[in-house]
Amino acid sequence: MIEGDPLGDKLESIAYEVKFEATNDGGCLCKMASSYKTIGDFDVKEEDVKEGRESTIGIYKVVESYLLENPQVYA
């Protein structure tokens, strides 16, 4: 993340690793990992991580929906 509200004054950076793995039914499985570099002794709470994860999944679902409705974009 280059900049953004989630960083605030408590986080120096957030790194995301996202993997899409093909499934047998023709779909895919999305695996995400994140690491947080904090400023000082700040402790990242699990509820904040969950909120960020849910937001990211929401974005992926919007993109997935768009691509399914517009296959000419990637075909």
pLDDT band at 70 (very low <50, low <70, confident <90, very high): very high
Assess if residue 1 is contained within a domain.
no
Give me the number of domains the chain comprises: 1
Assess if residue 26 is contained within a domain.
yes
Assess if residue 21 is contained within a domain.
yes
Assess if residue 33 is contained within a domain.
yes
Range of 62's domain? 8-69
Residue 5's closest CA among 52, 43, 44, 39? Answer: 52
Residue 37 maps to which CATH number?
3.30.530.20
pTM: 0.61
For residue 3, pLDDT beyond 80: no
Assess if residue 74 is contained within a domain.
no
For residue 75, pLDDT beyond 80: no
Assess if residue 2 is contained within a domain.
no
